[in-house]
Every structure is written in structure tokens, then in C-alpha cells.
Amino acid sequence: MEKVNETNNGQHLKKVVIIGPESTGKSTLTASLAKHYNTAYVPEFARHYIDRLDRPYEESDFPEIAKGQLDSEAQMEKQANGILFIDTCLIVLKVWSEHKFGACYPEIIDKINQQQYDLYLLTGTDVPWEEDPQREHPHLRDFFYNVYRKELQTRNLPFIEIQGEYYYRKKAAVKAVDDLLSLA
């Protein structure tokens, strides 16, 4: 039986994922949208997980990262006010694992196939790269953007592309979310 996301008052909890390549403003947009809609958001668990490692991450870390991301989502669902914003998702783990290690754990793919999100906001690469110790591929942002777009299209998932300077990105995201909420 598939899980239906519900708010505390029994209404359907809308879940919006912000997805995209490294250094495309996902975390900033996620937090800003949560503030705009007075609700909770889920930070990217992988960032927290990798920060705590005393070694480079390995392929064997990916199932633990996936579990932590999903546990964080489940926890924040309880605090959400009708809508929950999620900074990245397991599709990112799949793409990253396939790129770096040549494969992805089947249990991660199974979890992706079970996830239900109402909208994906795909952040474009038309913003400057910002250095960060966890970021690895400034020269591959367009490559990963196209891979994420293809994943969303192939899976027939609802998404819009978010481009431009921050003001325009947030404006486009708010319009997409407002449109989603008007369907409720």
C-alpha cells in the first residue's frame, strides 16, 4: 500500500524537492522557500554526513546517506505546515554513485521508485561556482544538470527548471509552488 503524505489536520502534505548540480543555489532556495511559506525544510543530509567523516566518502557510505536523508524527511514532515521543502533527494545519490563508482545500490533505486514528491525544482548552472570543500566538479555542472533533467523526464516526474539570478529563481519557484498549492 502506498503512503499518503498527510498534515496534522489530515490534508495532503505537499512535498517539493530542490534538485540540481553542485553550487546552483539549492540550499539557499530551499531555506528561502520554507521561510516564505512559513514551514519546515529538510537540509541535505549528505553534507552533514560527509562533514563528520574523518576520511573521504566511499561507495559503502551511500546506503547510510540515503537512510539519513529519508529519516530527516520523515522527521521534518511532522513539523511541516502543509508543504515541505527538501534540499536534494535520492536521485542525486543515484546519479552521483553511478558517475563516481559506476553503479548504485539496488536498495537506493528501490527507495527512489517508492518516493512520492509533488514537484521538483531543477536549479540551473547559470550562477557562479562557489568553492566548498565538498564540491568536486565545477567543470561538470552542465553535464549533471542534463543527467538530472533526463532522470526527471524518464521517470515522468513533475518538474520545472529554475534559471537566472537569485531574484528570478525565487520568483519562478514561488509561482510554481503557488500553482501546486492552488490545485489542492
CB atoms within 10 A of CB 1: 3
The top-level CATH class assigned to 14-182 is alpha beta
| pLDDT (0 to 100) of residue 50 | 86
| Terminal-residue alpha carbon distance, the chain | 22
Q: Identify the DSSP state of 142.
A: H
| pLDDT (0 to 100) of residue 137 | 62
Beta-sheet pairing, 119-123 with 83-87: unpaired
Instruction: Tell me how far apart the alpha carbons of residues 60 and 20 are, in angstroms, rounded to a whole number.
Output: 23
Q: What is the pTM of this model?
A: 0.90
Report which secondary-structure segment, H or E, holds 173.
helix 166-182
Calculate Rg over the CA atoms of the chain. Answer: 16
Give which of 129, 128, 132, 124 is closest to 162, Cα–Cα: 124
Residue 94's Cβ-count burial label (10 Å; 0-12, 13-18, 19+) is buried
pLDDT category of residue 12 using cuts at 50, 70 and 90: confident
Question: Over the stretch 59-118, which tens digit does the pLDDT of each residue have?
Answer: 999 999 999 999 999 999 999 999 999 999 999 999 999 999 999 999 999 999 999 999
| pLDDT (0 to 100) of residue 1 | 32
* Backbone φ and ψ of 163, nearest 5°: -130, 170
Instruction: Tell me how far apart the alpha carbons of residues 109 and 114 are, in angstroms, rounded to a whole number.
Output: 9
Ordered alpha helix ranges (H), 54-165: 62-77, 90-101, 106-114, 141-154
Question: Over the stretch 152-161, which tens digit does the pLDDT of each residue have?
Answer: 999 999 999 9
Between the alpha carbon of residue 15 and those of residues 65, 88, 103, 154, the distances in Å are 20, 12, 28, 20
